[in-house]
Chains A and B, each alone.
Chain A
Amino acid sequence: GDSVTQTEGLVTLTEGLPVMLNCTYQSTYSPFLFWYVQHLNEAPKLLLKSFTDNKRPEHQGFHATLHKSSSSFHLQKSSAQLSDSALYYCALSDGSNYAQGLTFGLGTRVSVFP
């Protein structure tokens, strides 16, 4: 079956420094990959999604590149902000049946300090 593996646990960093969250996946068919962000006591919100044409999606200063050769979709930002403190999920939709729901990683909590 499909699986997603993320940087585990808690990532702490200082405001202004770069952040990178790792995401690797296993899927038999060509999946779509997503990053969702969840702030405290809120719903998960879509942050980025992969494109089929190798474009690099960007949103709110975050970007991610789908590398099919290494089955990875790492999330990066050049300069972290205090408001980036949140729980981040990497997820995929199965290429054999995109409609049957997303497979999520366990999530990575990011805490940004002044």
Chain B
Amino acid sequence: EAAVTQSPRSKVAVTGGKVTLSCHQTNNHDYMYWYRQDTGHGLRLIHYSYVADSTEKGDIPDGYKASRPSQENFSLILELASLSQTAVYFCASSSGTGAYEQYFGPGTRLTVL
């Protein structure tokens, strides 16, 4: 099973501040994803990446940027954090073969005040 880690595990940020969430995977997977989880909305895709130095917009990219500096690392950046971005954020990776099943990290609980 894929080993995906996230940091920090929780964070409190102020409205208008910059927040960076980091994700690291050690299983040589090409594909990486960022989702947010909200009660009543399930898991929704924010950004994803096929390869280092390239990112793609998911279903809800507004207010978020992503960075993939290497195969192992994928960051989610909130340039101007807002109250509506309070949520739990999950990173996931996939080998890109077979059914493209994804393996998730432990999540980051972000609270914007």
**Chain A residues within CB distance 8 Å of chain B:** 32, 34, 42-46, 49-50, 89, 91, 93, 98-107
B4 contacts across to A, CB distance below 8 A: 43
Q: Are A107 and B42 in contact (CB under 8 A)?
A: yes
Contact partner of B44 (CB less than 8 A), chosen from A43, A93, A98, A104, is A104
Q: Which of B13-21, B68-76, B92-100 contacts A (4 or more CB under 8 A)?
A: B92-100
Contact partner of B42 (CB less than 8 A), chosen from A45, A46, A49, A89, is A89
Q: Are A44 and B90 in contact (CB under 8 A)?
A: yes
Q: Are B101 and A44 in contact (CB under 8 A)?
A: no
- Please list the 5 inter-chain residue pairs (A to B) with the smallest Cβ-Cβ separation, ordered nearest first: A98-B100, A43-B104, A32-B99, A101-B45, A104-B43
B35 contacts across to A, CB distance below 8 A: 101
B96 contacts across to A, CB distance below 8 A: 99
